A and B are shown apart, each in its own frame.
Chain A
């Protein structure tokens, strides 16, 4: 009897998981109150699935095509996500809900590098109130959801193998996954390997130091406890070697990450508490930056870095009545970040300093979300979060270093209250409008508080931390209009964000540079106010069953309180993609275009960027034999071999030129 119940439970679960993929109609049935949420996410999910269909795409390729996201590029690998005009510590980048801190002081290792498409289940970009549940920030959150071990009604073994080549960088991209699912338990293992040489840019030049090599592997398991509860565990490892960063003066000799988590999940639509998840996680990142492969280095140096984080969170959703739903969450994490620099010169004693002096940051928060369906046409959503972040240094040398700048006390507390409200209303003709406001904030990062002469290649300044920084506070208003017809869906969002105590590096002529060739020293300061505003639009049009047209458009604008442009603000940018399915054959034409960016930051000595337009052609062929599904993807990226660079690319280095790619994937 019991096992029968379990079996039913498992099958229901499978059904629920399927329902998510099928889309809103199923979700509405299961969770009527989440109606608006589901629809809002769908556009993003659809775009994600559209671009994920290309098996040769990397996580970064997918990220760069979402309308809310841009990438700061310092090399072929390790591109740093930007949500709208917010970057680095202004946003929360989470791996399956887990916080992972960079071990590299130059942000060579954003958390997004640890997920390969083979173990990525979905992407969630939250810009508004919903991001409050995941963390305090001024710019929102990006969560990369890891693929989980599946459970199924019938025991089933499944897997895939994929192998590909890209010509511009002579790159190989290999991946494999295997999974076993039974109604009681499931396991899943995946691995990916990428090796890339120096790539050839659009002007025909080989870009030195742009090669990299990496391996990624993960193992996850799920175990069904009863019809609503299951346990899940994940281990993930990522190793990179000799990763080149042409826009930086140094490369990464190696970068290792180890990520582990253990969780319990309850899903039962019939219960009042219909969803609950508790998770414990830990991760450790080791990063070794060096210049051993560079030529003409005045002083060879090594810059190793370490970050270790552990944390836990618990989140539950409760249906209050047919019209409202409450989400409660508690999360906490403790992280350690340290980095040092050792410089060697023939016949001289070694020089050693802590560039990030053993920083401990402890964060804990409670958050709540409340969804109230006012009537059949409108809903109100409220979110609140209270976050306390504490930071301090754990080594005497670190504290002694900080005293050089006159900071006698390294301990800081930040209390970050956050609130948001949004209202959604269905209008006539498939139109739906959402207006919302978010009051949020973030604690300064370890680099901003305690960084010690961190050279920033972008503006050529040494940056020193400021242990007396205040928290950044933001007030954002957002409006989204979505229009849905059977054949067309479009969505337009506009936002206006006023950030108070905005943290920016300000030149201090009283300090002398440490790095040879640096233009000066900047110290992080709170500037009174910065304004960031912009809009993004996306459209998915399906004129015929086998034809899909997708287009996105985004624009952002940023200035400090005195009218000067903020650095690294992407210009107007658009992507369009037309996909035609012809039986087992599909063909896709894609174009990307960006306007020039002439509004540049003078104090960051930022250069203007020209506009560009490039085109890609992709084709896919799928064939299913009895046991194996074959998929061949091939195409040409940057068809016209255009020499171009994006505004967020550092170092005025052109992106890859014409790239022929082929990727063969077989699944069973």
Chain B
């Protein structure tokens, strides 16, 4: 009896292995568009008949945060590659609400993903919580999702709010790259936004200087390239790290010849 039972198990196991082998051969491997990404929330934009999944590179944290939307037709479950997505991050602090800089995805998916971004200007706190209001328009239909999200504080600050010394504008600078710092040459990218009530338009007017420094040793690194504006408030250059450890990326912001900020920095530890 016992032996029979064992052999059944073996046969079943064999069949399973074979079956799974066949499956791989016979069917096109279904690619998960969000492979390698971290799912943050999902929800239904009911008016647009859309099931929405929201992904990030990891759990949300304060700073410039790339977001990736995957849309499905909630009836047919087909992937959607054409849609307009509008974002509005909102922080509710009880008595008051404010928003944050964001970048809406384009109307056409890239590799089945709709990439956008939100620059969370602070982390979720006891007194304040974030939610994302997402509007999806597709084929003349419109639906809305409002989802609460939790934003953590990163180990090193990735966003700075400050007042321009040149003209008193309220500005926000966000760190984008290097997201995976290494010894050698790294892309350096920041985004600069103006803070105007509930709006955060991108700022393209700055001249940026970059001076990396290792604070514990007081040395820098050679051949860095100052970030220059490349569109949508993004500034890109190169930063060189000569060793691992804690680096401080000192940024100087200039509006024409006037200093807008001279004490701005981001820390990088790897």
Residues of A whose CB lies within 8 Å of any CB of B are 299, 341, 343, 345, 348-354, 397, 399-406, 452-453, 510-516
Contact = CB atoms under 8 A, between A and B. Distances in A.
A351 B184 contact: no
Given A350-B245, A403-B185, A510 B217 contact: no
5 contacts: A348-B246, A351-B214, A397-B183, A400-B183, A512-B220
Nearest to A512: B220
Contact of B244 (A352, A399, A453): A352
Contact of A349 (B220, B241, B242, B269): B269
Nearest to A351: B245
Contacts of B184: 397, 399-404
A511 B222 contact: yes
B240 interface: yes
A403 B223 CA distance: 10
B167 interface: no
A610 B216 CA distance: 40
A557 B269 CA distance: 50
B98 interface: no
B223 A351 contact: no
A210 B262 CA distance: 48
* Shortest Cβ-Cβ A-B pairs, 7 listed: A400-B184, A351-B245, A353-B243, A404-B240, A352-B244, A403-B185, A512-B220
Interface of B: 182-185, 214, 216-223, 240-246, 269
Given A299-B216, A397-B183, A403-B185, A348 B245 contact: yes
A221 to B, nearest CB: 47
A342 to B, nearest CB: 9
A399 to B, nearest CB: 8
B245 A352 contact: yes
Interface centre among A350, A512, A513, A515 (most CB of B within 10 A): A512
B245 A349 contact: yes
Contact of B245 (A343, A397, A453, A512): A343
A512 B222 contact: yes
Contact of B242 (A345, A510, A514): A514
A251 to B, nearest CB: 21
* Chain B binding surface SS class: loop
Contacts of A353: 183, 242-244
Contacts of B182: 397, 400
Contacts of A514: 217, 219, 242
Nearest to A402: B184
A373 to B, nearest CB: 59
Contacts of B217: 299, 343, 351, 514, 516
A472 to B, nearest CB: 25
A345 B214 CA distance: 12
B246 A349 contact: yes
A213 to B, nearest CB: 32
Contacts of B223: 404-406
A299 B246 CA distance: 14
Contact of B222 (A341, A402, A510): A510
Contact of B216 (A345, A403, A453): A345
A350 B222 contact: no
Contacts of B244: 349-353
Contacts of A510: 222
Nearest to B269: A349
Contacts of A403: 184-185
Contacts of A406: 223
A356 to B, nearest CB: 14
A513 B219 contact: yes
B183 A405 contact: no
Contacts of A400: 182-185
A27 to B, nearest CB: 57
A452 B240 CA distance: 13
Given A349-B269, A353-B183, A401 B242 contact: yes
B243 to A, nearest CB: 3
Contacts of A405: 222-223
Contacts of A404: 184-185, 221-223, 240-242
A350 B269 CA distance: 10
Contacts of A351: 214, 216-217, 243-246
A515 B241 CA distance: 15
Contacts of B220: 512
A406 B240 CA distance: 11
A321 to B, nearest CB: 61
Nearest to B213: A512
A648 to B, nearest CB: 30
Contact of B219 (A341, A350, A399, A512): A512
Contacts of B222: 404-405, 510-512
Given A349-B245, A404-B223, A405-B222, 18 more contacts: A343-B217, A343-B245, A345-B216, A348-B245, A351-B245, A352-B244, A353-B242, A353-B244, A354-B183, A399-B184, A400-B182, A400-B185, A402-B184, A403-B184, A512-B222, A514-B217, A514-B242, A516-B219
A293 B189 CA distance: 43
Contacts of B240: 404
A349 B241 CA distance: 15
Contacts of A348: 216, 245-246
Interface centre among B183, B244, B269 (most CB of A within 10 A): B183
Nearest to B222: A511
A515 B245 CA distance: 15
A203 to B, nearest CB: 36
A156 to B, nearest CB: 59
A343 B242 CA distance: 13
Contacts of A354: 183
Nearest to B184: A400
Contacts of B216: 299, 343, 345, 348, 351
B270 to A, nearest CB: 8
Nearest to B243: A353
A400 B183 CA distance: 6
A135 to B, nearest CB: 33
A511 B224 CA distance: 11
